[in-house]
Amino acid sequence: MARSMTMKQSQRLSNAIILIILLIFGCILMTPFAWMISVGFDRTANVTMPFPPRLIPENVSSFNYGIIFENGRIFKAYLNSGIVTISSVLITVSSALLGGYAFSKGKFKGKKLLFLIVLATLMIPIEPRLIPLYKLFNSIGLLNTFWPLILPSLVNGFLLFLCKQFFDQLPDTLREAAQIDGAGEFKIFFKVYFPLAGPIAATMVILSFIWSWNDFLWPLVVLNNQALHTVPLYLASFSLENGTNLGGLTMALATVSIVPIIIVYLFLQRYIIQSIALSGVKGE
């Protein structure tokens, strides 16, 4: 009995130590974000950046945020990013779910080879693809539109792999029972497997939302019209126009730009661990 109590106490102590270590590292990781928010509320940061850096401004002011929302350009950038991101998320998640189901449960010639080709795309970074993609969209007259930012989302090798691993964990007997009842492949997917794919779908929504919202290099290449600029491009143009002279405004704008990502993540983050555990990525 005494030994059991000792083991429980040691376990509690180790858990407490781990929790303290995680809290310390969490605070360290959150420090840059807290400083960014702090500078955004510091009106004097537009004259000179506070040094040494402080987490609490001497005179808290919403002046910088008022200036950001006053000119209206941020709302246009938000609208542009919203159109691109929502469209990309819908296309990416839909194609990944359908493709993952096909690679997992489907039976067709060349499935393994095709899946290897899809995985091979993960080894090619965006930089070598910029020129071919630019020439492709230029030849069909889609530059300076949102289509070059949306259409490439149709195939995402990582999310396809994630979906396939998830559907591999679901029993084939569900599909066989539906086939006995006379259901076709699309009906099997939407009626049987799709309702079970909530966790993996939520994870893909988070990942694709972050990728699309934060995308900078590709939009910079294909969007020359300032009216079509997304939030990252607007933030970059604002920084180029003002340099480091308006540090408070720049930090306030950076804070506003990440708010949608934080909101989406807070709503859906509980599904990430669950979906990764079910998808077999943990090394099983």
Determine if the pTM surpasses 0.85. no
Looking at the structure, tell me whether residues 77 and 43 fall in a common domain: no
> Domain ends where: 64, 92, 113?
64
Place of tokens 């069909």: 140
What's phi and psi for 51, nearest 5 deg? -140, 130
Return the pLDDT at 264: 83
Taken as a whole, the chain contains a residue count of: 284
Do 28 and 138 sit in the same domain of this protein? no
What is the rounded distance in angstroms from the CA atom of residue 163 to the CA atom of residue 141? 33
Of 40, 64, 88, the position where a domain reaches its end is 64
Out of 45, 64, 83, a domain closes at: 64
The answer to whether residue 284 sits within a structural domain is: no
- Is there a single domain that holds both residue 111 and residue 44? no
97 and 232 within one domain: yes
User: How far apart are alpha carbons 23 and 20 in whole angstroms?
Assistant: 5
Q: Is it true that the peptide bond before 260 is cis, omega within 30 degrees of 0?
A: no
3-class SS at 263? Answer: helix
179 lies in the same domain as 258: yes
Give the residue carrying structure tokens 């630019």: 134
| Greatest CA separation for the chain | 78
Whole-number pLDDT of residue 281: 43
Q: Which has the minimum average pLDDT: 35-44, 98-107, 120-129?
A: 35-44
Write out pLDDT tens, residues 83-120: 999 999 999 999 999 999 989 888 888 888 988 888 88
Together in a domain, 58 and 108? no
Q: Which domain holds residue 18?
A: 2-64
Q: What's the DSSP call for residue 43?
A: G
CATH code, domain with 192:
1.10.3720.10
